[in-house]
Amino acid sequence: MIIESKTIKKVCEIAKCCYDFGWDERNGGNISVLVDESEIQASLAGAPPICRINTGVDNSNLEGKLLLVTGTGKYFRNIPNEPKESLGIIRFCKNGFADIVWGFENGGKPTSELPTHILAHKSRLAVDDNHKVVIHSHPTNVIAMTLTHPLDSKSFTLSLWRMITESLIVFPDGVSVLDWMLCGNVEIGIKSAELLKECRSVIWAHHGIFCTGSNLDETFGLIETIEKSAELYMKTLGHRITEGISDDRLRELATAFGVTPKKDLL
């Protein structure tokens, strides 16, 4: 049964963590995962599509792939107990269409951020064959930092790296920062996808974060680390007597852990 699949169970677990951490209030945030056909193929065999939808974006290079995605208007706190209503699986067709093949019971539909998720998946797959996951969340301190820090990707990344040793190790590719834009449309998806060509994380000013990765644990852990760094930044704002980890020590850290910091940041 699809409901018993490893990916469904992990999405339910991650959704609960996001809600418990206060990152996904009400129906805020969304998750999508490219699902291996082998994991659910037997459960879908012979079952007709529930309906066809227009994704609103070019989904070329994704045709035939399956995407597990959260539903529009669905509360993260309800996902573990109502997965068949809160989640759905779509199979990409040609010309921007997709078939809903499982879930979204009682008339549900994919998240309004589906265009951004699709474009994000396409962007990351172009640079990382192992890519599978996109998580959009509203981490409190990350959002607060966009109100107290210049919205410049380079300086924002350096401020996060300087706060805690793990930051450079976990996201040596840095973060990109996008000034406020109206969400839920193709334009913000295009902008975000362009930034995701160079890093796995895009911060939407005064809104939240889009993080990507090869699996759910890695992607969730990326958000955790960025949020922890942002929390330290906010808690020490106006009280610091050091700048944090210096450039020379960041270089030492990168060498010790075998990571390559994003070009031109140090």
| Catalytic residue positions, numbered | 113
Structure tokens of 90? 């779509």
Beta strand extents in 187-255 (DSSP E only): 201-204, 208-213
CB atoms within 10 A of CB 257: 13
Taking the alpha carbons at both ends of the chain, their separation in whole angstroms is: 50
According to DSSP, the β-strands at 66-70 and 208-213 are unpaired
Judge contact between 29 and 142, C-beta under 8 A. Answer: no
Structure tokens of 101? 């093949």
Rounded Cα distance, 211 and 72, in Å: 19
Judge contact between 172 and 254, C-beta under 8 A. Answer: yes
Q: What is the DSSP letter of 97?
A: E
